[in-house]
Chains A and B, each alone.
Chain A
Amino acid sequence: MSTTNATKEISFVREEMLPEMPAPSSVVGPVAWIRSSLFSSPGNSILTIASALLLLWIMPPLYNFLIGNAVFIAEDGAACRVEGAGACWAFIWSRMDFFIYGFFPAEEQWRVNIAFALGLVLIVPLMWPELPFKVVNALAFFVGYPIIVFILLSGGMFGLTEVPTVNWGGLTVTLIIGLVGIVTSLPLGIVLALGRQSKMPVIKSVCVMFIELWRAVPLITVLFMASVMLPLFVPVGVSVDKLLRALVGVSLFSAAYMAEVVRGGLQALPRGQYEAAGALGLNYWKSMSFIILPQALKHVIPGIVNSFIALFKDTSLVSIVGIFDLLNTVQASNSDLNWASEQQAVTGYIFAAAVFWVFCFSMSRYSIYMEHRLHTGHKR
């Protein structure tokens, strides 16, 4: 009798399929979330409570400094010198033109504004994948725009007053160096990465040497060499613009880094992709541009954006060769006696940090958006 029972249990089969049942509240809902995310174990509960206490301790004074007791409107530093005053935003506001345009003559600043506006008009549709005319748009941004900006800012033609680059400054210069660095380092890095993988020994060794040389030198050294040593080597009477030297230095420097990021992507691709492209009769350049690079670059978007962000922040190093980028204008203003107060420098640096953060965070978010967009479901 017992054996028949056992057989029956083993051979049990369901005769009708069960419908799907709703998940219990221990798995979904806010209570479940709190339990699993905040109090899943004694250790985690302690961490949760400790973090909450830390926030309670930090947030009120931070709020008071940044907003609560902050001075937003003032004629001069007097209001900021009051005991217990917070951040001196009025100081930032009064120096805003300097932070944005540097020593660009006030009556010519509209030219910079046009350059900003034009850049915005071109870059937004370029980064918006659904919009058409990408090729025209890209040409306009990568070729036309730099020329227009150069003419617009330096002047000396079309009836525009000449403004030498030593007068350029602030956010304008930071953006110029950042954008030029980003726009030139990626293609240059791709070429270097492909060159490093080349079977031709001359091309390969030139690329390897270039990459290894630039990567092994600190950016500050590059900038110093560009501004101090380069003039010693060029013939007397020939002078290369200081900003241009910094631009070239920053671009070549980050191209070397970019090359290694791209090479990582190229190596991650299975050999089958190269072979399939070749077997279909695609030559080297066609397989690279249609098959290999689109995939390799997509794989290394995080690395590429990492380099972009590092580059954008490293632009602040040009201040050591006397270029008035955003950070340098902030630093210079920090000694403005009109606004002298205890919080003056702190406010200035918080402002500079916030500006850098906005740009870098936007790049980061955009890269995440692109990663999701380009994901075609082949990653398992």
Chain B
Amino acid sequence: MATDTITADDDLAVERTKLTVSETDVAVEIVDMHKWFGDFNVLRDINLKVMRGERIVIAGPSGSGKSTLIRCVNRLEEHQRGKVIVDGVELTSDLKRIDVVRREVGMVFQHFNLFPHLTILENCTLAPIWVRGLPKVEAEKVAMHYLERVKIPEQANKYPGQLSGGQQQRVAIARSLCMNPKIMLFDEPTSALDPEMIKEVLEVMVGLAEDGMTMLVVTHEMGFARQVANRVMFMDEGQIIEQNEPEEFFSNPKHERTKHFLSQILH
């Protein structure tokens, strides 16, 4: 990897050698997918193949369909045409398939969406206990492991309302990890955070990438895209209009729309 082309505008420490991508193992495959909200064609002819271990950053102006795209991967949104195949399972209206896919796909939301009536620990153990059928003791062990990993084990017995935004988002990541997912979706995970807290969340995400997690990340954090992503996609008007390796994407954008977007977001 030619690390010298990466502008160090962010001090995220990434060990690029740890970032490996499988050549043969497909995690997500989207073929000719369309989606409509009413009569608005929000996603148009999306084709995307994500290999195991890939870290894809999806950028684009608001309303371009990037969140909707990743929400189609765990069927929080349903597509009307084309195919979405996640971990070998094609998503249809069959509820069993949706459950199978959601078990293997973790998701982190812009507004954390922790369950405010449950403690941090209960937030993390609920799904392992009731979806995976893990015994409570076991689930708590797993939860504490991941809470330690996101560096907040001491908050385990507090309620989400007592934590800062950055802490809540780290809990949300830990909660997803407790299900031991094969793929992680991030929907603008740092957009609702103060600048100081963005870094603590990004560091956790870097750690995940280094562990070989397949990640689809919708974000405006271009520093993260530069250093962690192996592919950056640019979306506009419901279409993927450009995708490339990060160095190339940032230094030599092809599409007019991309150039304009980058000039707005990078100064």
Q: Which residues of A contact B (CB under 8 A)?
A: 270, 272-273, 275-283, 286, 290-291, 294-295, 298, 374, 376-380
Contacts and interface: CB of A to CB of B under 8 A. Distances in A.
Contacts of A374: 117
B251 to A, nearest CB: 35
A78 B162 CA distance: 67
B161 A281 contact: no
Contacts of B130: 282, 286, 290
B116 A376 contact: yes
A281 B159 contact: no
B131 A281 contact: yes
A378 B161 contact: yes
A380 B165 CA distance: 14
Range for the number of chain B residues in contact with chain A: 20 to 34
B44 interface: no
Nearest to B110: A272
A377 B117 contact: no
Contacts of A273: 113, 115
Contacts of A275: 76, 109, 113
Contact of A279 (B95, B106, B111, B117): B106
9 contacts: A275-B76, A276-B109, A278-B76, A280-B131, A281-B102, A282-B127, A291-B126, A376-B161, A378-B116
Given A273-B113, A295-B115, 11 more contacts: A270-B111, A277-B115, A279-B105, A279-B176, A280-B126, A281-B131, A283-B95, A286-B130, A377-B162, A378-B116, A378-B160
B103 interface: yes
B179 A280 contact: yes
Interface in B111-129: 111, 113-117, 126-127
Contacts of A286: 130-131
A272 B109 contact: yes
A282 B129 CA distance: 10
Nearest to B128: A280
B86 to A, nearest CB: 13
B99 interface: yes
Contact of B115 (A276, A279, A281, A379): A276
A379 B135 CA distance: 32
B219 interface: no
Q: Select the residue from B111, B115, B162 with max chain A CB neighbours within 10 A.
A: B115
B185 to A, nearest CB: 8
A283 B99 contact: yes
B165 to A, nearest CB: 13
Contacts of B34: none
B174 to A, nearest CB: 12
A374 B175 CA distance: 22
B87 to A, nearest CB: 13
A272 B131 CA distance: 19
B74 interface: yes
Contacts of B106: 279
B102 A276 contact: no
A272 B113 contact: yes
B107 interface: yes
Nearest to B76: A275
Contacts of A283: 95, 99
